[in-house]
Structure 1
Amino acid sequence: MPRFSANLGFLFSDRPEIERVAAAASCGFKAVEMHWPYHVPALDMREALAAHKLTMLGLNMPVGNAPAGDFGLAALPSRQNEFQNALVQALSYGSTIRASAIHCLAGIVSPDDRAAAERTFIANLQMAADRAGEADMTILIEPMNRRDRPGYFLQHVEQAAAIIGQAERRNIRLMFDCYHVEITQGDLITRIKTHLDLIGHVQIAAVPSRAEPDEGEVNYREIFQTLDSLGYQGWIGAEYKPRGRTEDGLGWLSELSGRP
């Protein structure tokens, strides 16, 4: 049976981030993941996670200068020093809260810069993976769709798989976000089967609404059954934007997955 984690960037967002930990536990989640919790002192977050016996999966690296349009630094050729500083911050925070993974965001790249961006991305991933390995952590990379994130460097599963191959680090893994992949490419089950050995984490949301996964064009019951049949041992992150109060929309857990 699938194991589901609550993404506290989107779920329970009607309360302060640290209070979302207790809310997730009260709804039966055993693991959580986060976007950018850096404004919460890491020791406070670790204490909250421990108090509610929650496994902390992963968090995103800082994106750079968000008001200026940044959404990640790893593939930006002129920003390596900023990337290294962001990595230090993410690894320090992640280690303190005992996270198992860091999502390394590639960033927004112009078409003319893509060749240099790929070289930069691979080099930065190698460095990040080496440092993360010292803390027994994984580096995740995630293809994102052009509709939500125009110009994002990493757009396709196959592109991510090729970059992981070139980086040659065993602790670089693919974050397979069904929402993004369905919008950009589709054929989810085939791609899951093809790239299962590279998948470090799965995320879900309805397409096209990004709401609870009980509506839209993706048959998540089949996705969950496929992952079970393939022996997937990781977590499935509920990274969706609730239609209303998070607690009122969790019926999909039992409806789609067989979870009691």
Structure 2
Amino acid sequence: MRFVANLGMLFADLPFRRRFAAARAAGFDCVEFTFQQEPSGPDVAALLREHGLTQLLAGLPGAADDKGLAAAPGRESEFRERFARGLARAVEARAPLLHVTTGVVADADLTVSGDTFAANMRWAAGLAANENVCLVLEAINQTDVPGYFLRSLADTIAWLARLDLPNVGLILDLYHAAREGLPLARAVDLGLPWAWHVQVADPRTRHEPVIAGELALALRTIHRRREDATIGCEYSPAGDTVAGLAWMAELKNVW
């Protein structure tokens, strides 16, 4: 399996530009992060080349307070502008996966938001296909982000089946699955057939994973079923990032 450094969360004591070198020095050859205004697209591409890194997963630029716009009725033009900008950045960075976030939706608005989401995703998937970029969706648990449109792993998979788009897949986030109360063995069974990327964090603290119990079994199952799986380290380190990476070595004991 290939581990991917989330530069939005790891090496947080360093300025963002310096995190590329830190990730490489820590042994990563692959990174993921959400695009912001700075660094610019050319600067990101140059940093990746300089440090011999691949950006596997990109996130759309946007405001943290809206959690995305793909399912936001009345904001279609804003979503499309934001998506086109993020897709251009992904192409420039040669990132094969682009995460589309949906936004927060009230229960009463789920039907109209679903129509908006379907239309936006079909439009976005067509644009991304022209650039050989695949889009990925993720369930976000309702404790951390109440009202997020993709309310559960099962809900997200149902949408993937309904959309039936060849370049749209799943981020299987084990942290969010655990936070929604789903046993991790069940999450792997449900999600792995749809997953193009996996993300991990300790379900209780969102710090480094503790390689024991349910989580150890889930990661072992993923390794056995899909040896080429990519595992995003999407967690906030409890202390020093590099010291906290010891959990990766511990995984060898459960494989």
Given the two structures, how large is their TM-score scaled by the length of structure 2? 0.94
Q: Which residue of 2 aligns with 1:60?
A: 59
* Residues 85/257 of structure 1: CA separation in 2 closer, same or farther (3 Å cut): farther
Decide which of 65, 82, 90 is 2:86's aligned counterpart.
90
CA distance in 1, matches of 2:138, 2:177: 10
Code of the residue aligned with 2:201 in structure 1: it is A
Matched ranges for 1:99-138 at <5 A: 99-138=95-134
The yes-or-no answer on 1:248 pairing with 2:243 is: yes
Q: Which residue of 1 aligns with 2:229?
A: 234
CA displacement, residues 76-134 of structure 1 (integer Å, 9 cap, x when unaligned): 11110000001011001111111111110010111110111111111111111111111
SS of structure 2 residue aligned to 1:219? helix
**Structure 1 Cα separation of the partners of residues 59 and 213 of structure 2:** 25
Which ranges of structure 1 fall in alignment gaps of 5 or more residues? none
- Offset of 1:199 from its aligned partner? 0.5
1:204 match: 200
Counterpart-to-counterpart distance in 1, 2:118 and 2:97: 18
Q: Which of 73, 76, 92 is the aligned partner of 2:69?
A: 73
Q: Does 1:224 align with 2:209?
A: no
Q: Per-residue deviation at 1:258? A: 5.3
Partner residue in 2 for 1:148: 144
Distance 1:173 1:42 in 2: 25
Match of 1:192 among 188, 197, 215: 188
- Corresponding residue for 2:15? 16
Q: How big is the shift at 1:190?
A: 2.2
2: CA distance between counterparts of 1:209 and 1:28? Answer: 24
Q: How far did residue 193 of structure 1 move?
A: 2.0
Whether contact under 8 Å (1:174, 1:200) holds in the other structure is yes
1:48 is matched with which residue? 47
> Contact between 1:207 and 1:218, CA under 8 Å: does it hold in 2?
no
Percent sequence identity is 33
Q: Which residue of 1 aligns with 2:163?
A: 167
Q: Give the conservation status (yes or no) of the 8 Å contact 1:220–1:256.
A: no
Partners of 1:77 and 1:7 lie apart in 2 by 31
Kept in 1, the 8 Å contact 2:90–2:98? The answer is yes
Report SS of the residue matched to 1:120: helix
Q: Residues 258, 127 of structure 1: CA spacing in aligned structure 2 closer, same or farther, 3 A cutoff?
A: farther
TM-score, length of structure 1 as denominator length = 0.92
1:146/1:194 Cα in 2 relative to 1: closer, same or farther (>3 Å)? closer
Could you tell me how far 1:18 is from its partner in structure 2?
Answer: 1.7
Pairwise CA distance, 1:232: 4.9
Deviation at 1:194, TM superposition (A): 2.9
- Give the letter aligned to residue 91 of structure 1: L
Q: Report the AA paired with residue 86 of structure 2.
A: A
Quick check: 2:67–2:102 contact (8 Å CA) kept in 1?
yes
What is the letter of the counterpart of residue 132 of structure 1? A
Contact 1:63/1:105, CA 8 A, preserved across alignment: no
Q: In structure 2, how many angstroms separate the alpha carbons of the residues matched to 1:105 and 1:165?
A: 18
Whole-Å Cα distance in 2 between the matches of residues 180 and 17 of structure 1? 25
Tell me the alpha carbon deviations over residues 198-222 of structure 1, each in whole angstroms, 9 at most, x when there is no partner: 101100000110000027x863321
Query: CA offsets, 1:168-224, max 9 Å, x none?
Result: 211111111100111103222223223322101100000110000027x86332122
User: Hey, what's the Cα distance between the residues in 2 that align with 1:178 and 1:76?
Assistant: 26
RMSD between aligned residues: 1.7
How many aligned residue pairs are there?
254
Gaps of 5+ in 2: none
Letter in 2 for 1:109: V
Residue 71 of structure 1 contacts residue 106 of structure 1 at CA under 8 Å; is this kept in 2? yes
Q: 1:182 aligns with which of 159, 178, 184?
A: 178
Aligned-residue offset at 1:231: 2.2
